Structure 1
Amino acid sequence: MAAVESESTAVVHAAAGALDGGDPGRRPRKRLADEVYDTLLAQLMSLRIEPGSRVTIDALARELGVSQTPIRDALNRMEADGLVVRVHHAGYRIPPQITRDRFEDMLEVRLLLEPAAARRAAERATPEQVERLRRMLAEMAELAEGDRHHAYGAFGRRDAAFHDLIAESAGNALVREALARLHTHVHLFRLLYDTQVTYLAMGEHDEVLSAVAARDPDAAAYGMRRHIMASGERFRRLFDAAEDG
């Protein structure tokens, strides 16, 4: 299993010396665990860590060049999020891909919650939140032009952040928490490594942002619904192909 050579991994390596070397100005353990979490999440979403594979704390500590403590903290968090499964006396295992039934249930929940959140975001988003959404889309565009395998995982994380900020801007903490618990973007991006997904999603995101910035609730709700349905069709074809094969 190769570590993702990204800015996240580079930060982990840089912080490792401070963590293990006794520097009084070293990075706090919690922050380093967050960086390890982000690195492992990138590997999951870009399929560098394959579904069903086994991971151990020792191996990850050697690979990322950090002590076992932040690895353990990151894996505990991932277990709580349902992104890894603890195996008794054998480390952790990456869960298999989601089933079609789970995918359809997830899509239904998103269609119930996210268009309504986009509608509220168009009514309630602050200028600062709108500007953050713009920056996210600009970062996605830059990633689409970069290293394709690394960019795919990084794009997926920003995709998740974009949807989370829409929910945050709507001002309903329960809706935001419910969507976060689905880990939709992790599961969907793990289904297939396909950079075409990033290009198609960017235009759909822009439609949602334009409506939110224009304070047009109907257009924001419609744009979000159209994006979720289009995304659903893109991934649904994977299940169709698997069933036909």
Structure 2
Amino acid sequence: MPFPNYPEKYRYEAVLTAAKRLAYRRQQGHVPAVTPPVAVIFCYQPDVLQYAARKYWGRRVDGFAGELYLLRRTNRRVGVVGKFGVGAPVTAVLLEDLIAWGSRQFFLLGLAGGLQPTQKSGDLIIVTRAIRDEGTSWHYLPPESAVSPPGDLTERMAARLTEVGKPYTLGTTWTTDAPYRETAPEIAHYRERGVFTVEMETAAFFAVAHAHHATAAAGLVIADTLTEHDWQMAPGTRLLQDTLRGCLDTAVEVLAA
């Protein structure tokens, strides 16, 4: 049986679109009467979202899932959004809504499981490729096993991280919908093929951006680690928070330039 069930659905226009829904909500007075930011950072950890809102003088804007802040220290060119949930479907819907609103550059910042023995908790991976083992991306793009980030934001982030001396690794992530079904054979399969991380959103994030000719990149901080034999959580959260905040600061700088 093919997936999606209707073959080549990505060739056809959707009946309900984010743009149509935005127009309806605007008629109802539910769309903020502010200029949309050029770029938005997706923050999956609430404390990182609050850090960004405090440090960059965030102004709360209603009308979207979760909490969206426009960062006044960037002249509102950059926004941060979080507390909207986890997983590919909700990420895709929110990304669609923000694209329809007018934003064009997006950075995903979150935690991931580590698959390589050379990596450790707190390491930052800048994603160059996402394996499509979730369902959402297949509704946007032709069948391919993986998707790359659209646009040049990945290169810009890597260049700036190098300039400021923040360590990172370029690499592939495995995106899945089922974190409690990451089996030993899969973990070995992807580790042997050089995949660094496993998480739940990146492939869909890239796919939606591709479909709308937007720019997207992703930074993943390794928290827990997985092998064929065991799962181990990070020994503490301080290092994770430091890496997440450092990556966020760099993303704000790059996107505001």
* TM-score over 0.5 for the pair: no
- Pick the structure with more strand per residue: 2
Name the TM-score, length of structure 2 as normaliser: 0.27
Between Structure 1 and Structure 2, whose CA radius of gyration is higher? 1
- Pick the structure with more helix per residue: 1
